[in-house]
Chains A and B, each alone.
Chain A
Amino acid sequence: DVKVTQSSRYLVKRTGEKVFLECVQDMDHENMFWYRQDPGLGLRLIYFSYDVKMKEKGDIPEGYSVSREKKERFSLILESASTNQTSMYLCASSYVGGRGEAFFGQGTRLTVV
């Protein structure tokens, strides 16, 4: 069974902390994505990566960075967490440039207090 695994289901962090969200996929996909999901706003793309060490900004990259040192792992970093970053974060992966669907992780519910 193909899998995208996010390291935590729930996280509670304090304002100003540096936060790492980890995502691992076992499908040898080139593309990996980080989305943020908020009520009424749907999914908004934060960053995506199409290869190791490659990244592109999505629609809402401010306050976030990413790291992709290995093909299977894509990390989202909140440099200094703020309360407006409280949200559901979804990681996804897919094959490059094709018709294939994106596969999603189970999501991380992050609360910043």
Chain B
Amino acid sequence: AAGVIQSPRHLIKEKRETATLKCYPIPRHDTVYWYQQGPGQDPQFLISFYEKMQSDKGSIPDRFSAQQFSDYHSELNMSSLELGDSALYFCASSLWDWVAGEVYEQYFGPGTRLTVT
């Protein structure tokens, strides 16, 4: 079965540079989430999108922005990179159930490892 695809899998950037991470959800999934996981830490929710609109927001720095496109893929744009941005970035996708009024379980991608030097 198709899974969530993230690209690139590894990215090395220097301080103050910009980075763009891409996420391709499972076909038919309409909701995308972004998480950041620093070394030895638990995943931290950044932001989510439903049907191309931002649906919820967590501890996402102002230097980061994200969007979901008409084909449901999503991109996380990170500017003025700092050493502390070095982390694993996970994207997840799910389906929103209008009848039940809830989202189904999330399926996570393999992550993008960002290293800022």
Instruction: Please say whether chains A and B are actual partners in one complex.
Output: no
Binding site for B on A (CB under 8 A): none
A-binding residues in B (CB < 8 A): none
